[in-house]
A and B are shown apart, each in its own frame.
Chain A
Amino acid sequence: MAKIVLDKLIERFAGGEILETGSQHGNEWARVVPSAWRQVAEFLRDEPALHMNMFVDLTCVDRQPAEPRFDVVLHLYSIEKKYRVRLMAGVPEKQASIATLVPVWPGANWFEREAFDMYGVRFEGHPDLRRILMYQEFQGHPLRKDYPKEKRQPLLRRLPGSV
């Protein structure tokens, strides 16, 4: 469907930034090294032959026990050319962080906050990296595979001095 996107990516980034590409069920995807995350995103947005300027979705996948544990997954679309592509970048648990895409697409703001909230992946340079769905006092990151489904964290605000 959009093989041209992958071809262009491989052509532009010949220095090993693209680790792997593939196509499954009509979805084209590319795995990039985390250090080139923002660079690849900017290229896709600005390349006139692709014009993948629409930010669609950003999320994470916890691939435990695989290493690197987390995949940051980005979906892009070109309204004009109707291409779609999925970008993935693996980040290890020990240093779970990747460059933010907010300067590239302002819409990434909330999606990155959600990914941080749910998986604990930090987006370096994000203007306002707060939790978005959970409350600020919440401990841990609920969509990590090691967060038990039954665990409850009621939000109790006790007055000082009360038992």
Chain B
Amino acid sequence: MADTAPTALESRRRVVFGESDVADFDDQDLPTEVMPLMMGPSHPAMHGTVRIALEVEGEKIKTADIQIGYLHRCFEKEAEHATWTQIFPYTDRLNYVSPMLNNVGYALAVEKLLDLEDKIPERAQYIRVIVGEISRITDHLTCLAAGAMELGAFTVFFYLIKGREWLWELLEEVSGARLTHSYVRIGGVVADLPEGWAARLREVLGKVRVAIGDADKLLTRNKIFRDRMDGVGVIDKADVAGWGLTGPIARSTGVPYDVRKDHPYLVYDRFDFDVPVGSTGDNFDRYLVRLEEISQSMRILDQALTKIPAGPIIVDDPRVALPQKRETYNTIEAMIAHFKLIMDGLHVPPGEIYSFTEGGNGELGFYIVSNGTGRPWKCRVRPPCFANLAVLTKVLPGLFIADVVPTFGMINMIGGECDR
């Protein structure tokens, strides 16, 4: 008995750990039937409620039907019945981890229709860049944190989410709301940056930098993490154009398309920053691209905080900007102007515009049709992750079930934006 026990253990060890005993895993596959498997809509890894109807053969995925729409809130229909300013709260809820970027994207589209584009005060443009880049950082932090957690790295999740919370606290100071900011207005922004805010932002960025460094050390050379990411979910560079991929997904394949560089808006042409690109288009590249983009956003923030000029924060145009509160309460003209802007809404001349900015996930487009009334005739959002998610119907087949989790995580599908 005493003799046989270690031998039995030894043989078990070989079965469990001895991969070398099995020459070719494919030889070991037994014939299996195709089995349907539903991932989601409420599955811990399907953040944002989405269902992936898989057809699996053993562990291998044969087909993947991604079913979205669970978070459809009729954004377009509601927008057609709202005044131009009332749409801002709806845009907050598109990509709800980077609401400022949606606010800015929508405001720019309407400003182009109003021909106000060149009249936005410089300080307002800098503020938009600053809050937008903070939002981009929170967006990437969320994606990396959730992606790491789903692969078992819970510590990283806490490090990064803590950083996101510090940044959201700063945005809360600016806008009054932690998440649904509605901070941008047509023609500018609603309030100036609070006293001492820039110093607090620099301090928080320092802390976030440490958190990113910790996450980097914990993940980038971690074998468990790399095994799930390297060479998994490869997107071909040739697929980028045909599938309309943008943002970190497109850049991970090596296409250096970034709206901030290729079609600079606001004051992005005044900053020095790089566009990181990957080489293979796998999950690990998407992870690296996002990690590097956080650093680049911090570079932009650093320069913007140094360069930001003093001045007004909203355009001086009574057609679009509300009068000062002091005026509203003391003069009849300002009170009427205030009343008209709130009740009727501002009037946008008839026309059509497709305006695009770099959102957290890629090209965030607004296609707006105005017929000259106080409400948009059509207000379409071109959601970047709608196109980015669609490509998974091509990428997933051939992978293992377990690969769905990191691949889906690194696409960073945000239900609010995808389903609208």
Contact = CB atoms under 8 A, between A and B. Distances in A.
Interface in B307-339: none
Interface stretch (B98-106, B140-148, B173-181, B386-394): B386-394
Contacts of A114: 386
A57 interface: yes
B262 interface: yes
A62 B391 CA distance: 28
A25 B242 contact: no
B353 A56 contact: no
Which of B115, B241, B243: most chain A Cβ within 10 A?
B241
B325 to A, nearest CB: 33
Contacts of B354: 27, 57, 75, 84, 86
A109 to B, nearest CB: 6
Contact of B244 (A55, A82, A132): A55
A149 B263 CA distance: 37
Contact of B365 (A53, A57, A110): A57
Given A27-B353, A109-B390, A56 B244 contact: yes
Contacts of B78: 149
A134 B69 contact: yes
A133 B419 contact: yes
Given A24-B351, A107-B243, A132 B77 contact: no
Contacts of B257: 79
A24 B352 contact: yes
A143 B76 contact: yes
B62 interface: no
Interface in B62-95: 68-69, 72, 74, 76-78, 80-81
Contact of A61 (B74, B262, B365, B369): B369
A68 interface: no
Given A57-B382, A61-B378, A86-B354, A135 B69 contact: yes
Given A55-B243, A56-B382, A143-B77, A29 B352 contact: yes
In the complex, which range does the number of interface residues on chain B fall in?
35 or more
B113 interface: yes
Contacts of B353: 24-25, 27
Contact of A25 (B113, B262, B363, B393): B113
A73 B366 CA distance: 13
A129 interface: no
B242 A53 contact: yes
B367 A57 contact: yes
Nearest to A59: B380
Nearest to B263: A82
A9 interface: no
A26 B112 contact: yes
Contacts of A110: 386-387, 390
A8 B419 CA distance: 36
A75 B242 contact: no
Contacts of A59: 367, 380, 382
B396 interface: no
B341 interface: no
Interface string B235-264: 000011111110000000001010000110
Given A29-B352, A86-B354, A107-B387, A53 B72 contact: no
Given A79-B257, A142-B77, A105 B244 contact: yes
Given A55-B244, A56-B244, A75-B354, 16 more contacts: A25-B353, A53-B241, A54-B241, A55-B243, A57-B244, A62-B378, A73-B367, A79-B241, A105-B241, A105-B242, A106-B394, A107-B245, A109-B390, A133-B69, A133-B72, A134-B72
7 contacts: A55-B242, A59-B367, A79-B241, A82-B262, A107-B244, A109-B390, A147-B77
Interface of B: 68-69, 72, 74, 76-78, 80-81, 112-113, 115, 239-245, 255, 257, 262-263, 351-354, 363, 365, 367, 369, 377-378, 380, 382, 386-387, 390-391, 393-394, 419-420
The 10 tightest CB contacts between A and B, nearest first, are: A107-B243, A133-B69, A107-B244, A57-B382, A54-B241, A53-B241, A55-B244, A110-B390, A133-B72, A105-B242
